[in-house]
Structure 1
Amino acid sequence: MAAVMALSATLTGPLVLPGTQAHAAEIAVTVRERLSNYGGWRTSARFGDVWVPSVRTEWRPYTEGRWVWTDDGWYWQSTEPFGDVVYHYGRWAYDPDFGWVWIAGDQWAPAWVVWRQGGNDVGWAPAPPDVGVAFDDAWWCFVPVAAIGAVDLVRVVRPVQENVVIMRNTTIINQTVVVNNAPRVRLGNQVVAINAGPRLQQLPKPVIESIKAAKLVPPRKGVFASARLDVSRGAEIKRLAGNTKGNGQILAGPK
């Protein structure tokens, strides 16, 4: 309980965390070898076996790519060659020895992030692997609301030095989306709750028009694999935004 309270205080308000993972999951040899092409495997004193990407110093997770609106909420479409694994399975955390590290997990989701919004800004940060991990302002990525649909968000993410001010003017989006048929590599499909993010229908019309939308087809269970986006149904998905009859059901967070 103390850990939860400390995390909430750091975030300036209550936070609905996605289902936490207490321990790193075993990962297929083929996936380990593939990720080794883009980084290295290390042993963290805090998290155990982790993957450390070979990236520039100022790099942050969930910046090189775009957000896509789907029937299961916001999906992160990465432009990085390792993105289909590390942004949809497992969690990210900042390690004092290695910087950003990925902790393997076998539960798939459209994205493992938490969201903030306020004024003209919307932001997201990697969801921690457990509630004992304290957030830092520098973890957050903020963009103007008008830019949430940008194709290459890394070009419009606000400088991290501005985060201190933006944090004071934004609040946690404390809602969850329930994905009813989320695949898990070893245990089959399960219900998983993820942070909902900004509601599409509450964004300005020009912003909605700029956002890519698609029907989300999750990967098949039993393997680490990519999801498929059916953009031909994008207009339909936008019309159904906020309709709880779909697979992704928006639920209010605790009061």
Structure 2
Amino acid sequence: MDRIYFVKSRIDEINFVLLMPDTYNDRLFNGNRARRFLHERRFWWLIDRLRRLNIHRADVIEIGCYDAKTISYLERSGIAVNRYLGYEADDDILGWVQAQWAPRPEVAIVKSRSPFDIDLSATFDVGICMETLEHLLDQNVDGYLQLLARVVRGPVFFTIPVERGAMLVAKQLGYRALGMYGDRLSWRDLLNGALSQTDKIPRHEHAGFDDRRMIERIARYFTIKESAGLFVPYFTTLNFTVGIVGTASPLTAGS
């Protein structure tokens, strides 16, 4: 059975590479090996944490699923997906992704631009929200977190970027010196970010995002079991990404 999942996931992955109607995967996963390694790290982190928790089969909900490539990573690693519900806001990709996963009735991809789009009638074993919270409208963040806490009966896995300190400086220098893709901050905002004064940077997507504040917001709804950098666990600003594992707080889950 695991071999079947592996073969199927490899076919899905090839289809994504050949047919994807944009350059997102080419830019992050199919080009520069170093960049691919950095962006794939969150999937290998997720798989490692699932294995540590002895989760080998699950009903999964994912907020910000994009092309639902998470399924392929899970299945090629021997973790079976009984049922998958992915929410995505990008109109440019939504129809294509729905068509790609249509042959699998246990997979549903649904448009969501606000927490009110989340179906509360079903529950899930595992929740996933990777590299998504920084892109949400600020007024929607708590709503999505609260709803995840209500519908997931097991662990929820978050990854968020580090946009301050040494890592921010490294990213911005890379954008400028190497022509890497990414939003370039003004030199003033870069200085504030280097000093972790993110409140002085106009907030937009990654710009002005503060991992510390987001972890505080996650902790309103989840008991945090782990929060650490994906590369250098004990020094947050030396990481591109922070991984958080949480379980719903009893009060939130029952509300």
Q: TM-score, normalised by structure 2?
A: 0.28
Task: Flag the structure with higher strand content.
Answer: 1
Which protein has greater RCO, CA pairs closer than 8 Å, 6+ apart?
1
Structure number with larger C-alpha Rg: 2
Task: Flag the structure with higher helix content.
Answer: 2
Q: TM-score, normalised by structure 1?
A: 0.28
